[in-house]
Amino acid sequence: MGIKLHSSLLLIALSATSASLVHAAEVSDAREALTKQSTDADSEKALEEVFEAAESNYSLMKKGGLGLNYSFDYSYYADQRLSLLIAPQLDANGDPTGSSNILSADVSPSSSHTFTNSFSLDYGLLDNVTIGGRLPLIAKFDTERSITNFAMGDLSGTVRWQPWGIVPGTISKTLFGSLKLKTADSPYEVDPNRNLATGSGFYSLSGGASVSKVLDPVVLFGSGTYAYNIPETDLNQVRDGAKLVEVHPGSSLSGSMGFAYSLSYDVSLSVSFQASFNDETKFVLERGREKVNSTVGSQVTGIMNFALGVRVSPKTITNINVGFGMTEAAPDFMVGFSMPIDIEGIKASL
């Protein structure tokens, strides 16, 4: 009976530990899926189309063109996390009776602030092919635990292709593919009691399509993306006495849609909605020679976003956006700002 009791309590302890770990990972995955990607059909691009209806056959950057964009984003998350340690009731023979006891319960508040400064560089490879990269620099604060971190985020590269030229009055279609690297501090490698993660912790390949249509003075836009997240093995992260050795993140589907409306030649407004479906994520933990496979179920998340575009010069449009989360894993609210950086002096001759 002593052996059975020890084994049962060990499994319960491992399950409680894995529940605490995967809860944090689940929230991290959901938030990562909702972060702005360079491939999204977002309000910034839609506002530009409202201001500048394309006269050319393609709406991407001209061949040899070079563009640099700066954006600043702030997001705030607040959460209450409940951790339970539950043990089954055993009969005289050491077999579970079907009832259970709560050994301990802990409610811990969580509050974090994330500031992201990102630089996006685009180059016109052809009139209908544009390649680009994004470098995020992140400052993160956890006010409940007084932990801060300043680090680089996950680098990403994107290719956009317009296989069909734009015909006035029809829908503009763009295909894209993206690769995201795990260059940031991984949530599966940092010490969670001393540091904060600034990235997803795994490589990701994604592809999809975006569409838009100009109905002067309105632009309708939308996009859909499928992302395959590459599993991580050979991990060695210790939490509450258990060790995380493998993470198998599920694939994700995300989409956005909205419209932008031109109030005047210099001012435009937009409203957009973004949603993401994350497939289940599997974790492999071990304590000694015992291994436990834990799974986080699939999840749907979404946010609403409102943006204002203002023309500050004949060639420069500044965008300000405010958004709020509609699900638990989404940020409580977000504020963003973006504008192009003039690099006319180093652009290739057109």
**Tens of pLDDT along the chain (350 residues)?**
443 333 333 333 333 333 344 444 444 444 444 444 444 445 565 555 555 443 456 678 889 999 999 999 999 987 655 555 555 667 777 677 766 665 544 555 568 899 999 999 999 999 999 999 999 999 999 887 889 999 999 999 999 999 988 777 789 899 999 999 999 999 999 887 788 999 999 999 999 999 999 888 898 999 999 999 999 998 988 877 788 899 999 999 999 999 999 898 889 999 999 999 999 999 998 877 788 888 888 888 999 999 999 988 887 889 999 999 998 878 888 999 999 887 765 544 43
Number of H helices, E strands in the chain: 2, 17
- The pLDDT of residue 303: 93
Q: How does strand 242-248 pair with strand 129-142? A: unpaired
Q: Which residues contact 282 (CB under 8 A, 6 or more apart)?
A: 246, 247, 248, 250, 293, 294, 295, 296
Give residue 12's pLDDT. 31
Domain that holds residue 195: 2-346
Q: Give buried/exposed letters for 235-274 (b at 16+ CB in 10 A, else e).
A: bebebeebbbbbbbbbebbbbbbbbbbbeeeeebbbebeb
Distance CA 221, CA 336 (A): 20
Task: Write the CATH number for 48.
Answer: 2.40.160.40
Nearest 5°: the CA angle 192, 35, 302 is 105
pLDDT at position 291: 83
- Per-residue CA distances from 45 to 41, 48, 243, 259, 274 (Å): 7, 5, 44, 11, 15
Phi-psi region at 23: left, alpha or beta (left = phi > 0; alpha = psi -120 to 50): alpha
As given in the structure block, the two tokens for residue 18 are: 């894995």
**141-158: burial string, b at 16+ Cβ within 10 Å, e else:** bbeebeeebebebbbbeb
Give residue 39's pLDDT: 46
Output the CA–CA distances (angstroms, integers) from residue 185 to 11, 224, 230, 283, 339, in the order listed.
30, 28, 17, 19, 27
**Integer Cα distance of 99 and 90 in angstroms:** 8
pLDDT for 85 equals 53
What's the total number of domains in the chain? 1
| CA distance linking residue 61 with residue 300, whole number of Å | 34
CA dihedral 12, 14, 18, 21 (to 10 degrees): 120
Q: Locate tokens 């400052």: which residue?
A: 139
pTM of the model: 0.77
Residue with tokens 């436990």: 292
